[in-house]
């Protein structure tokens, strides 16, 4: 098996969560198979999540935590993000991380536009696994909301900067899982980690 550089981001703003356990299961299995793994926990990253300024003329300098996130994304070949779905999207702090860190000149190139005026992605050559926990059944998310969060993450965030394909694992019933369900999720994620998938 080809050895990969993997960056795992636990995107839950609190500690001791299901997201953290899933991230740990993925990382542990990947390391056991010889992959090189770096792990970060959103709850431990100190940064101002508010972008504040309009446009990209006067951007705030990135805090050390965000510089490290970008360095780890640039280093990796496979990006793994674990996050809960809150109010149809990712937690505000995780969205703030993308707002602040995915900047022109680092994540996309506004000087190099496509025929339809889209900036060129600068983080290509990387794949992703997005692991989402939710209380909303996947079928309902798809039928009622068009899988909006998943489309946003795949296309408007990760795909926009060139990280693709972004495959998704979706675990619903997270607040009140059935007996044995969490262990089954952990086992599934460990299987993904072992394959760097």
pLDDT-based confidence at 94, cuts 50/70/90? very high
pTM for the structure as a whole: 0.94
**pLDDT-above-90 percentage for the chain:** 80
Extended strands (E) in 64-107 = 78-84
Whole-angstrom distance, CA of residue 12 vs CA of residue 34: 26
CATH 3.30.70.270 fits 5-195, yes or no: no
């Amino acid at each position: 098996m080809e050895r990969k550089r993997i960056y795992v981001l636990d995107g839950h703003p609190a500690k001791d969560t299901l997201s953290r356990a899933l991230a740990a299961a993925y990382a542990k299995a990947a390391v056991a198979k010889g992959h090189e793994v770096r792990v970060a926990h959103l709850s431990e990253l100190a940064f101002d999540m508010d972008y504040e300024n309009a446009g990209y003329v006067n951007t705030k300098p990135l805090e050390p935590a965000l510089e490290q996130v970008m360095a780890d994304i640039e280093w990796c070949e496979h990006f793994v993000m674990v996050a809960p779905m809150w109010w149809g999207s990712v937690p505000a702090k995780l969205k703030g991380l993308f707002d602040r860190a995915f900047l022109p000149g680092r994540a996309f190139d506004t000087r190099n536009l496509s025929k339809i005026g889209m900036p060129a992605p600068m983080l290509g050559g990387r794949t992703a696994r997005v692991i989402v926990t939710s209380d909303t059944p996947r079928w309902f998310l798809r039928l009622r909301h068009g899988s909006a969060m998943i489309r946003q993450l795949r296309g408007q965030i990760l795909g926009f900067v060139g990280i693709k394909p972004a495959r998704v694992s979706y675990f619903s019933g997270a607040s009140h899982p059935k007996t044995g369900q969490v262990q089954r999720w952990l086992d599934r994620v460990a299987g993904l980690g072992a394959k760097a998938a």
